Amino acid sequence: MEVLLNQATYHFPKGFYWGTATASHQVEGNNTNNNWWAWENEPGRIKQGHKSGLACDWWGGRWREDFDRAAECGQNAHRLSIEWSRIQPTPDRWDQDALEFYRRMLRGLRDRGMTPMVTLHHFSDPLWLTERGGWEGDKIVEYFSAFVEKAVDALKEYVNLWCTINEPFAYAAFGYILGSFPPGKQNLQIGLRVAMNQVRAHAAAYRVIHRLQPEAKVGIAIHYRGFQPAKAWSPLDRLATGVQSTFINDLIPYALEDGIFRIPLRKKRIPEARGTQDYIGLNYYSVDNVAFDLRESGTLFGKRFYAPDADLSDTGFIANVPEGFYKALEWANRFKLPIIVTENGIEDTDDHIRPRYIAQHIHQMWRAVNFNWPIRGYFHWSLVDNFEWERGWTQRFGLWELNVETQIRRKRPSADLYAAVCHENGISSEMVAKYAPEVLGKIFP
């Protein structure tokens, strides 16, 4: 065992949120009334033909044991989403039993000493909504506002931390520009219309929530993707990098800051969106190299790839670039709002990379906190392996491993590392030496 000559601990502010994040369709199971269930049943849509099925069986009650695990490991918060299609199964019906189910879940978090953060829309839509045009339709703001009013009024006893929409540009891009999410369209103009409608819907939801609960904190979760030019000297690579970042990272949050939706060659004013964030939610996973390529129209003429020497996850989906997390936090700090890291994690079946990923990223977050940037919490993705959208069960992001057939959970070593961080409210050289000794010198030089 290595002898630590210079032991140290990097602590976080008192009251810092330490938790994990989940989403309803990915963990509940048998969400048969939404667009993702329908999408899974179309051949070729999901890798290896996987289906969500029971998922993590939270609707069957296994949320209790998973919340117990989280609480025992020192987590003091949890971010979850609620399923619109359960709460409003048809346009003219509200399911009180579903609302009561979510009340029990949220009460369960409170009883375990955990602060709930509730996401109102995390990628999945009721089938009736898709039949009426979904997020392309003119009435989406009205529909979403009605859902938000019903849900928040029912749940506000246990929640005052709300995320209206998860990764709005990702939803628009994957569903309407790249076609890998439902409804599978590939049309830039439609995708931008969906993104604008999400801005409008968020603004309306923000006002609904504050009317019902004036003390609430309301924000949105932005997927910040790091980009850097493949060749720093190339003007075209730098141009492609800037375009990628502007669309993917900047389009939505700046519209919520000043009410201006900036798309190429024109600006669309959405004045009601101005100033409708009480915090900025940050989802960060990795950094791409970008090379200008005329053949890549679907990604705005920027070919994205990882560096040849990248520290890659199981399927090559994520590269471990902790310095990019610091830059993402620096970007978020521009908005002069409290920052909550709403997602950060890596797929890793055998847990060979996750411990160093966690240690290095938490260290970078501590660096940012040390500059007095207003970072309030960190939610790791995810608590337990879950259904990863179009990638099905081929990627495992959980601190706990899930056997999909038996529903048996098995704790991974990284769960113990994260538990030590949560209990300490910080990360120590002793933790890193035990769980990720290969990066000890980088974090505690």
Residue-level pLDDT, tens digit, the chain, 445 residues: 444 556 899 999 999 999 999 999 999 999 999 999 999 999 999 999 999 999 999 999 999 999 999 999 999 999 999 999 999 999 999 999 999 999 999 999 999 999 999 999 999 999 999 999 999 999 999 999 999 999 999 999 999 999 999 999 999 999 999 999 999 999 999 999 999 999 999 999 999 999 999 999 999 999 999 999 999 999 999 999 999 999 899 999 999 999 999 987 789 999 999 999 999 999 999 999 999 998 887 777 899 999 989 999 999 999 999 999 999 999 999 999 999 999 999 999 999 999 999 999 999 999 999 999 999 999 999 999 999 999 999 999 999 999 999 999 999 999 999 999 999 999 999 999 999 999 999 999 9
User: Has residue 308 been placed in a domain?
Assistant: yes
Residue 282 domain-assigned (yes or no)? yes
Residue 4 counted as domain residue: no
**In this structure, what token pair is assigned to residue 130?**
């898709």
CATH number for the domain harbouring residue 349: 3.20.20.80
Are 391 and 31 contacting, i.e. CB atoms less than 8 angstroms apart? no
Contact 144, 100 (CB under 8 A): no
C-beta of residue 268 within 8 angstroms of C-beta of residue 212: no
pTM above 0.85, yes or no: yes
Tell me if 285 is assigned to some domain: yes
Q: How far is CA 413 from CA 145, 191, 352, in A?
A: 42, 41, 9
Domain count of the fold of the chain:
1
SS3 content of the chain, % helix, strand, coil (to 5): 45, 20, 35
Q: Is 66 helix (H, G, I), strand (E, B) or coil?
A: helix
Q: Are 394 and 315 in contact (CB under 8 A)?
A: yes
Task: Determine, yes or no, domain membership for 158.
Answer: yes
Structure tokens that stand for 389 in this block: 């959208």
Is there a domain that residue 182 lies in?
A: yes
Domain range spanning residue 231? 9-443
Residue 203 per-residue DSSP state: H
CA distances from 311 to 314, 397, 444 (A): 10, 16, 20
Number of C-beta neighbours around residue 180 at 10 A: 15
Q: Is residue 349 part of a domain?
A: yes
Residue 2, in any domain of the structure: no
